[in-house]
Amino acid sequence: LALIDPLGKIDWHIELDPWGNCIREYNPSHLHQPIRMQGQHLDEESGLFYNRHRYYDPALGRYISRDPIGLMGGINGFSYAGGNPSKFTDPLGLCDCDNILDQAQKLVGDTRYKIDGYSRPGPGKNKCNFFVDDVLQHTDASPARNIFGMPIAAGTWANPDISIPNFPIVETPQAGDVVAIAHRYADASGHVAIVEIPGETSIGTGPNGSGRSGWPWDVTKQPQGTPVYRRCTCP
């Protein structure tokens, strides 16, 4: 993390280990700078990180109080980022996933998500995982992100060997679940979308923007393979 002035000079810099412990800090002007990991502010008196809804202890690598949403946030109510801070972050300290399907339906027909659209990550790029990320953000589902703050890739959603905090794999899909299939493309790792009608339709992106399709159940829709379904476990 770093702060720079308008001329690009570094005024403050800190290097953290994966759990947020300070490795080294550069602060020649003795600036008051409490920013630590995503969504966290240092409480200098306690040494804990304030995470809006609870406090995080970097020395222990866990929160000091249970997740306020209980078991719906995971089996271990004290863990940070699913116990894997090198891969995920938890900027709010909780999770909420109401109305995922409603938000996906509101975004149907949005041309920003077409291949040449200007939605993240820009023209000429596939945007399926960014669409899913936007849906989850708009429903306050605290979407899982990689350590660089980027949305989870389709291939990661589709990997049954990867645990994504608050999105466990389920066998039978229901409306609002995330569905993904891994496939090696030149510029993508697969496809991911939101289940609308299980066995019939999903909502995701395509060449012309966001919309409904029969993927993955319609065998004419690509990519094909073994779909992985994940369900938000937050209220």
What pLDDT shows up at residue 108? 95
Question: In CATH terms, is domain 96-235 a member of 3.90.1720.10?
Answer: yes
Sheet containing 41-43: order of strands: 41-43, 48-50, 55-57, 62-63
What pLDDT shows up at residue 95? 52
What pLDDT shows up at residue 187? 80
* 55-64, 146-155, 203-212: range with lowest mean pLDDT: 146-155
Q: Where exactly are the structural domains of the chain?
A: 1-93, 96-235
The pLDDT of 197-207, averaged and rounded, is 95
> What is the percent of the chain where pLDDT is above 70?
83
Residue 93 pLDDT class (50, 70, 90 cuts): low
Residue 13 pLDDT class (50, 70, 90 cuts): very high
The pLDDT of 184-211, averaged and rounded, is 94
Sheet containing 178-182: order of strands: 169-170, 228-230, 178-182, 190-197, 201-206, 209-213
Q: Please, what is the average pLDDT of the chain?
A: 84
Residue 63 pLDDT class (50, 70, 90 cuts): confident
Full-model pTM: 0.61
Q: Is the pLDDT of residue 109 over 90?
A: yes
Cα separation, 129 vs 155, in Å, equals 9
Higher pLDDT, 20 or 198: 198
